[in-house]
Amino acid sequence: MPHPTLSDVTSCLSDYDPNALPVAQAQAIIRDFVTPIRSVEKVALRSALGRVLAQDIVSAIDVPAHDNSAMDGYAMRGADLDGAQPTTLNIIATAYAGAGVETKVAAGECVRIMTGAPMPAGCDTVVPQEFTQAATSTNVTIPPGVVKTGDNRRLRGEDLAAGKPALLQGRILRPADIGLMASLGIAEVPVQRRLRVTFFSTGDELRSIGEPLDPGCVYDSNRYTLYGMLTRLGVDIIDMGVVRDDPALLEQAFRSACENADAIITSGGVSVGEADYTKQIMATLGDVTFWKIGMRPGRPMAFGKIASNGRSAYLFGLPGNPVAVMVTFYFFARDALLRMMGADNTPLPLLQAVSEGPIRKKPGRTEYQRGILSTDASGRRQVRITGSQGSGILRSMSEANCMVVLQHEQGSVKAGDLVDVLMFEGLV
Ligand code: AMP
Ligand code: MG
């Protein structure tokens, strides 16, 4: 199937207006336009942490490989239990983890057993040691009613059954998954190759760390927040620095970015009336659209695909304001990059919390305010907005532990109303 153009994608939308685009529509266009890379490599089990699983992992063995005890105690036949009277059994052997016993257990007999030891033949139940009475080295007494037949026994294959998928392709591998594959004896894991993402900042007023701060200039912070967010996402990054507002330098930067990466993220230069060349050059190099999104912060954004010398890359031209960069990254670029990585992509999980104060909001745009989520004395989640919400005030992000997401149609919030909240913790 040929790759769709942006106009193929947007022509399906009856009410598409690039100058007043709702967040949900921008997200849908990006999702339809971006396709996953398909390139698999094998890595050692430990190196698979945080990578995207490229093929289903099917268990070749039963885990556990045999029925075994879940407790330290006595393995016995459930049929020997007396519902009303204590039961006394002869201890005929001891079973340790990693070493089963050969003997078959007959009626009136039991085996002293340790956690993880294979269940001896004939046994179906384990009585935990702490429930027994009068244990000697030769016999043990079990009071009535402390266990039922089948208790404290782990069944063969109850964790993973042979032939069943243990993990599905597209999963971003977490510590438990690495352990699970270890339990199957898997040493190497097929993962998607890492996505290569390059980024640079545009603007004559930007200075890099180490340079003197000339009058009217600011230090470039966007490359550092982008570095942080991209690193957490697990992509390979190429930092191209600050590119001046010079047509030849910008064109050179965009061309080299295309040739070296799967995706390009720039910040700055996409606002209306901006006296620079960024937008012009983006447009000449490919299929790029410029949006004014119904959101705050983060209204202007460029999106598309550009090409140079036969190599192409997706382009996210994020706005320059430091908070807007983060918000547009989390709500547009993150999703697209995960999709390119071939990762399972569930929508960002929103919690609900009580707003501690009123929040002014106009219907018809989505607002992302920086908040501090806590619990009140009764354990209820509550959220308050961090001070000033200007899109240039990065401190508001740094102080916050969440974003309050005020949805498109929503109007002003009263103190005590429930609002949607996106936690930063756990968010890459
Ligand atoms: P622009 O989108 O280029 O009009 O930039 C909007 C605002 O964000 C301006 O005040 C810029 O100085 C500021 N800005 C742009 N890029 C950066 C950056 N990389 N780091 C910090 N501030 C920036
Ligand atoms: Mg600028």
Q: Which of 176, 183, 161 is nearest to 116 (CA)?
A: 183
Q: In whole angstroms, what is the distance from residue 101 CA to residue 107 CA?
A: 17
Which structure tokens are listed for 65? Answer: 């490989």
Average pLDDT rounded to a whole number, residues 373-401: 94
Model pLDDT for residues 49-81, shown as the tens digit of each residue? 999 999 999 999 999 999 999 999 999 999 999
CATH number assigned to the domain covering 68-154: 2.170.190.11
CA of 110 to the centre of ligand 2 (A): 79
Q: What's the confidence (pLDDT) of residue 167?
A: 98
Average pLDDT rounded to a whole number, residues 108-121: 97
SS3 content of the chain, % helix, strand, coil (to 5): 20, 35, 45
CA of 233 to the centre of ligand 2 (A): 26
How far is residue 74 from each of residues 107, 122, 235, 276, measured CA to CA in Å? 14, 13, 52, 79
CATH superfamily of 40-63+158-192: Molybdopterin biosynthesis moea protein, domain 2 (3.90.105.10)
Q: Which ligand is nearest to the CA of 216?
A: 1
Choosing among 2.40.340.10, 2.40.420.20, 2.40.160.40, 1.10.4000.10, the CATH entry for 351-423 is 2.40.340.10
Which structure tokens are listed for 156? Answer: 């063969």
Instruction: Kindly list the protein residues whose Cβ atom lies closer than 6 A to any atom of ligand 1.
Output: 201, 203, 205-206, 218, 220-222, 267-269, 271, 274, 319-322, 392
Model pLDDT for residues 3-14, shown as the tens digit of each residue? 889 999 999 888
Residue 274: which pLDDT band, with cuts at 50, 70 and 90?
low
Q: In whole angstroms, what is the distance from residue 50 CA to residue 233 CA?
A: 8
CA of 5 to the centre of ligand 2 (A): 28
**Do the beta carbons of residue 258 and residue 307 sit within 8 Å?**
yes
Residue 426: which pLDDT band, with cuts at 50, 70 and 90?
confident
Average pLDDT rounded to a whole number, residues 380-390: 93
Residue 314: which pLDDT band, with cuts at 50, 70 and 90?
very high
Q: Ligand 1, closest atom to CA 201?
A: 19
Q: What's the confidence (pLDDT) of residue 276?
A: 65
The yes or no reply on domain 6-39+194-340 and CATH 3.40.640.10 is no
Q: What is the model's pTM?
A: 0.91
Q: Where in the chain is the domain with CATH 2.40.340.10?
A: 351-423
Q: Where in the chain is the domain with CATH 3.90.105.10?
A: 40-63+158-192
Q: What's the confidence (pLDDT) of residue 103?
A: 87
Residue 324, amino acid = A
Q: In whole angstroms, what is the distance from residue 28 CA to residue 9 CA?
A: 9
Ligand 1 atom 8 nearest Cα: 321
Query: Number of C-alpha atoms within 13 angstroms, CB side, residue 280?
Result: 11
Q: In whole angstroms, what is the distance from residue 120 CA to residue 130 CA?
A: 20
139-142 and 188-192 beta bridge pairing:
unpaired
CA of 324 to the centre of ligand 2 (A): 13
Q: What's the confidence (pLDDT) of residue 3?
A: 82
Mean pLDDT rounded to a whole number for the chain: 94
Q: In whole angstroms, what is the distance from residue 48 CA to residue 186 CA?
A: 11
Cα first-last separation, the chain:
32
Model pLDDT for residues 213-223, shown as the tens digit of each residue? 999 999 999 99
Q: In whole angstroms, what is the distance from residue 45 CA to residue 61 CA?
A: 18
